[in-house]
């Protein structure tokens, strides 16, 4: 495992690994580290983190957990079997059946209070129906002094990040949204998702399908909302790793190896970049649970 060269399936995975390593570097004396992937999907991020941590921290016990919600169309049993089977091929001795699960989006997370050292999510918060509930669960399940990092687009982002239609996520009137999407389909300027489509869909039905997806399965939070909820649940909240995600993307584009950990950031410069980058694509919401005695 020590000589293994790992390659992430996505720059987002490299970025979250960099954030995780930066957080874990201050927990050198801690032997057991628990990490949760919120909205773990098909398990790609969990498997990448597992292999990376096995190589980097051979003397630590890094426990990885993950869950997803089943309201988004996933078939519960098939979903779990597929993800657990994939993860078992990487870590056959790990009890993945106990660590990977699905829940309802309104259900309390199935973990004890003060359980995790680090909670991550990859492009999940723009799908969360109740952000207040998610922040409360992050605060409940994080250990005092624990960290949480979430990569996702804010409502300020200019282009809707799923179908790539500018400003579509800001249109609240359904008929206007449907017509707006219909125009972009006509000019062939839309990203198509096969899972949302049926054979021989009419233009009207196609635009309705995408409009329904945005209305029912996206909910982009604002900068102010994230900061307000962080304060509400006594978490130190910033967007300090946002710049690093774009540097990872740039390194990938020019063929350089990804950063596995991040150096100390320049607070003022990073905030200035964040104020621009929040209109471009994903940001990194970073929180630390206050260690209140």
Bridge partners (DSSP) of residue 149 are: 120, 286
pLDDT value, residue 140: 98
**Could you tell me if residue 4 is inside a domain?**
no
Domain that holds residue 186: 168-217
- Claim to verify: residue 145 and residue 281 sit in the same structural domain: yes
- Claim to verify: residue 62 and residue 152 sit in the same structural domain: yes
Structure tokens of 114? 């003060």
Residue 105 has pLDDT above 60, yes or no: yes
**Could you tell me if residue 195 is inside a domain?**
yes
Rounded distance between C-alpha atoms, residue 84 and residue 101, angstroms: 9
Contacts 24+ apart (CB under 8 A), 163-172: 163/190, 163/191, 163/192, 163/193, 163/210, 163/213, 163/214, 164/189, 164/190, 164/191, 165/189, 165/190, 168/214, 169/126, 169/214, 169/218, 169/220
Over residues 243-268, mean pLDDT: 92
The number of distinct structural domains making up the chain is: 2
Residue 151 has pLDDT above 90, yes or no: yes
- Claim to verify: residue 199 and residue 247 sit in the same structural domain: no
**Could you tell me if residue 48 is inside a domain?**
yes
Please state, as a whole number, how many other Cβ atoms lie within 10 Å of the Cβ of residue 5: 6
Close Cβ partners of 69 (under 8 Å, ≥ 6 residues apart) = 39, 102, 103, 104, 105
**Could you tell me if residue 163 is inside a domain?**
no
* Of the listed ranges 1-5, 97-101, 115-119, 237-241, the one predicted with least confidence: 1-5
Look at residues 217, 236, 255 and tell me which one is the last residue of a structural domain.
Answer: 217
Please state, as a whole number, how many other Cβ atoms lie within 10 Å of the Cβ of residue 29: 5
**Could you tell me if residue 71 is inside a domain?**
yes
Q: Per residue in 65-104, pLDDT tens?
A: 999 997 765 445 577 888 999 999 989 999 999 999 999 8
- Claim to verify: residue 25 and residue 112 sit in the same structural domain: yes
Please state, as a whole number, how many other Cβ atoms lie within 10 Å of the Cβ of residue 132: 13
Rounded distance between C-alpha atoms, residue 281 and residue 154, angstroms: 8
CATH number at residue 120: 3.40.50.150
pLDDT value, residue 77: 55
- Claim to verify: residue 146 and residue 271 sit in the same structural domain: yes
Closest CA to 21 of 200, 181, 185, 260: 260
- Claim to verify: residue 212 and residue 236 sit in the same structural domain: no
- Claim to verify: residue 125 and residue 180 sit in the same structural domain: no
**Could you tell me if residue 29 is inside a domain?**
yes
Over residues 178-206, mean pLDDT: 90
Please provide residue 64's backbone torsions phi and psi, each rounded to the nearest 5 degrees.
-105, 135
- Claim to verify: residue 54 and residue 102 sit in the same structural domain: yes
- Claim to verify: residue 245 and residue 142 sit in the same structural domain: yes
**Could you tell me if residue 2 is inside a domain?**
no
Q: Which of 25-34, 192-201, 277-286 has the highest mean pLDDT?
A: 277-286
- Going by pLDDT thresholds of 50, 70 and 90, the confidence category of residue 261 is very high
- Going by pLDDT thresholds of 50, 70 and 90, the confidence category of residue 2 is very low
């Amino acid at each position: 495992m020590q000589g293994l060269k790992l390659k992430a399936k996505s720059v987002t995975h490299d970025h979250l690994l960099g954030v995780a390593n930066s957080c874990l570097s201050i927990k050198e004396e801690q032997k057991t580290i628990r990490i949760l992937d919120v909205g773990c999907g098909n398990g790609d991020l969990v498997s990448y983190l597992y292999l990376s941590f096995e190589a980097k921290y051979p003397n630590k016990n890094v426990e990885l957990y993950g869950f997803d919600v089943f309201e988004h169309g996933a078939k519960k049993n098939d979903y779990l079997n597929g993800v657990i089977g994939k993860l078992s091929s990487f870590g056959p001795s790990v009890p993945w059946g106990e660590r990977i699960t699905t829940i309802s989006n309104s259900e309390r997370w199935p973990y004890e209070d003060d359980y995790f050292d680090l909670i991550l999510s990859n492009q999940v918060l723009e799908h969360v129906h109740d952000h207040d509930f998610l922040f409360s669960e992050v605060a409940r399940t994080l250990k005092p002094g624990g960290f949480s990092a979430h990569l996702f687009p804010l409502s300020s982002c200019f282009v809707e990040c799923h179908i790539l239609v500018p400003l579509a996520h800001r249109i609240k009137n359904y008929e206007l949204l449907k017509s707006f999407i219909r125009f972009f389909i006509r000019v062939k300027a839309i990203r198509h998702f096969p899972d949302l489509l049926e054979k021989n869909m009419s233009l009207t039905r196609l635009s309705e399908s995408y409009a329904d997806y945005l209305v029912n399965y996206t909910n982009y939070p604002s900068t102010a909302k994230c900061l307000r909820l962080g304060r509400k649940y006594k978490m130190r909240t910033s967007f300090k790793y946002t710049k690093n995600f774009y540097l990872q993307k740039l390194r990938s584009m020019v063929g350089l190896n990804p950063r596995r950990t991040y150096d100390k950031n320049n607070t003022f410069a990073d905030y200035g970049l964040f104020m621009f980058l929040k209109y471009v694509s994903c940001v990194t919401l970073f929180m630390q649970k206050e260690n209140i005695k």
